[in-house]
Amino acid sequence: MVSGRRIRVRGQVQGVGFRPFVWSLAQRFGVSGEVSNDAEGVLILCAGGDLDGFEAALRGEAPPLARVDAVESCAAEVPVGEGFAIVASGGPGAETRVTPDAASCGDCVAEIFDVGRRRGYAFTNCTNCGPRFTILTGLPYDRAQTTMAGFVLCDACRTEYEDPGDRRFHAQPVACPDCGPRLWFEREGREVAGDAVARAAEALGRGAILAVKGLGGFHLCCDATDAGAVAELRRRKRRPAKPLALMASFEVLKGYAAPGVAERALLEEPAAPIVLLPKQEGGLPEALAPGQGALGWMLPYTPLHHLLCSAVGRPLVMTSGNLSGEPQAIGNAEARETLGGLVDAFLMHDRDIARRLDDSVERITPQGPMVLRRARGRVPGTLALPDGFPTRQVVAYGGQMKAAICLVKNGQALLGHHLGELDEALTWEAFLQADRDYAALFDHRPEAVACDLHPGYRASQHAQGLGLPVVEVQHHHAHLAACLGENRWPLDAGQVAGIVLDGTGLGADGTLWGGELLLGDYRGVERLGWLRPAPLVGGDRAAREPWRNALVRLDQAGLGDEAEAFFAAHPLAPLRMAAAKGLNAPLSSSAGRLFDAVAACLGICPAVQSYEGEAATRLEALAGGAGEGYNLPFAKGVFDTAPLFRQLVQDGRAGVPVAQRSWRFHAGLAEAFAAQARALVESGRAEAVALSGGCFQNALLLDLTVKALGDVPVLIHRKTPANDGSLALGQALVALARLESR
């Protein structure tokens, strides 16, 4: 034993090449000792050489995929011999975090197109890239605990794997054509001889629709420049209008879009999300995203994608491989069964996918980055809890739509991946699997569970049946808490004004809320303002048929004649009777349904929406111009919508363009809520304003609201979705705050 140091590194430090990084630093600074992985992260026992320089480099020169939260060092008597050793991982446990899947690095991309044994190999990876979470079956993260366990390393790969100086040192998915997964092209249940990528590219060039097995599931793929193929894909998938994601190399993408510096940086991140980029005139079929102002683009993020995109040389549709409303397929047999009737052929491989992960969807707005769907490449990354929260374990289950689970442990919140709508049976099965999966992988033992107030939500029913103390959290309070938590707002930092605009959530008074001005913090909120309630005639049908919302809002404004002119083809009398008698017509202050009503009045998909948010996103895409926002006067806690609709109709009679009327609606809504929230800060009742809820994924509304708030502190979502995808995070924080106060 000699006098030295015991150094603990915490964070995202396993499966990212941290141990060979430490080894190389030890050579550089003349340090002896050893480094290992264990349940808490990376442990270093060291002595000799320049220990101060060594420790400083640990903090400042971490590998590309690492995230260092803490480097804890103390003097210790350590067993040190000659040189510096990388030792085997310690026992199982999950105090450290698991690394998200990472897009192919430049070295690996170059390798698959260069001369060598991995030329054209679709499963090339190294320590700096490749699958992680999607192949992980247990902890610690070693090859035996991944779906690569059945592929025995050949001598050449093992040499790389065991060499601390090689970029493939302990890269768990390392493989080559001699020992790794195999790719093939399959048609009508039979493998087709020949180069699989070449066969696929040839088929795509003929207008075929393929199922392509990726990292977190299958994609449905076709040539995005082929209008006929796009139309046929929509017909087969029964997806008439929802935007389709695109994939292309950056060089090809530049011919169809003009990403800015921030957008390019986001596209090229290791997470490789789908990034919304403004449409350009011409070049691609309108059917890719009808009525939208942007297309969702992603760069190839696996060697297979790089090879396929290079072989085709044109943008490809890469949309989730599933039947509408169902989770995407991940298994080969599952894909053959569920996708066989949708595709002409399969591009298949034999590396199993351990868990289903959709592609993340993000955008750059005038207010910075925005996450619309948090999934592949982002999970299971964690968020540090704000100051003041106890280090207790809780689990939260989110809402009914855009479901996601949140686990809190050791001062970190793990917000899980996007699961979808829990009404769908297969999505519910995926939810239950994710619950078991996360608990096992992260050794999570919650002492309490948080859920939404709504007793009809399947996630809430699940929480109630676990036998744990249950913390019920009002929907919009959870939205507010999620925004506070992402922004590291301390537990005792004071109250904030919350503008929470979304579809619907059960309110504390038993009605359906959705257009709210709140004052509060993690522990509780007070409702100070809301949109004038209107009946949702037909219940859930009101969310699918915008004309229903327009009818009741126009009637409230004394514009019944206009409603009859706009919607003469619809059965207005029975709906009016239902609204008057309250028959399946619950009152709601929903901002989402207000968007639908305005869209219907402007002729935007008034009869029916083919997907959630279609009317609102088309309304945003259409908006243009300037001028004064429509008036929503505030009195006795109510934002009155009647003047807005009177002005909207008056503008229509005066021939004001639809684009400007849309803009005036956005501006009026932003200005009305911002004025009241700003007043709360200026009066000293609030310390800042937080913006949350699905409506704030509208970049125009977000920008106009932030500008209307002026110079008061504003908190917005940048790393988590403003929609229900972050609801579980807010629930978990509220639960922790209440546990802390007991």
Query: Which positions are catalytic?
Result: 19, 37
Residue with tokens 């609030």: 686
Judge contact between 570 and 547, C-beta under 8 A: yes
What's the rounded Cα separation, in Å, for the pair 653 and 656? Answer: 8
Separation of CA 1 from chain center: 49
Strand, coil or helix: 275: strand
How does strand 274-278 pair with strand 294-298? antiparallel
What's the rounded Cα separation, in Å, for the pair 715 and 719? Answer: 12
413-416 long-range contacts, CB within 8 A, separation 24+: 413/382, 413/383, 413/384, 413/385, 413/485, 413/729, 413/732, 413/733, 414/97, 414/379, 414/380, 414/382, 414/438, 414/442, 415/374, 415/379, 415/383, 415/720, 415/726, 415/728, 415/729, 416/379, 416/380, 416/728
Residue 180 corresponds to which tokens in the numbers above?
A: 């790794």
Judge contact between 249 and 309, C-beta under 8 A: yes
Query: Residues 114, 116, 119, CA angle at the centre, nearest 5°?
Result: 60
What's the rounded Cα separation, in Å, for the pair 638 and 553? Answer: 15
What's the rounded Cα separation, in Å, for the pair 429 and 35? Answer: 40
What's the rounded Cα separation, in Å, for the pair 630 and 645? Answer: 8
Omega of the bond prior to 64 within 30 degrees of 0, cis? no
What's the rounded Cα separation, in Å, for the pair 425 and 283? Answer: 39
Number of H helices, E strands in the chain: 23, 31
Judge contact between 42 and 99, C-beta under 8 A: no
What's the rounded Cα separation, in Å, for the pair 186 and 200? Answer: 9
What φ, ψ does residue 371 adopt, rounded to 5°? -100, 120
Residue 286 corresponds to which tokens in the numbers above?
A: 């309108």
DSSP string over 658-704: HHHHHHHHHHHHHHHHHHHHHHHHHTTS-S-EEEESGGGGSHHHHHH
What φ, ψ does residue 267 adopt, rounded to 5°? -55, -40
CA-based nearest residue to 405, from 458, 359, 354: 458
Report CA Rg, the chain: 27
What's the rounded Cα separation, in Å, for the pair 463 and 395? Answer: 9
Alpha-helical (H) ranges within 453-535 are 458-464, 475-486
Residue 163 corresponds to which tokens in the numbers above?
A: 């060499």
SS3 content of the chain, % helix, strand, coil (to 5): 35, 20, 45
What's the rounded Cα separation, in Å, for the pair 515 and 164? Answer: 57
What's the rounded Cα separation, in Å, for the pair 64 and 357? Answer: 22
**Nearest-10 crossing angle of helices 699-709, 614-622:** 60
What's the rounded Cα separation, in Å, for the pair 132 and 102? Answer: 7
Alpha-helical (H) ranges within 557-657 are 560-566, 572-581, 591-601, 614-622, 642-653
What's the rounded Cα separation, in Å, for the pair 39 and 42? Answer: 8
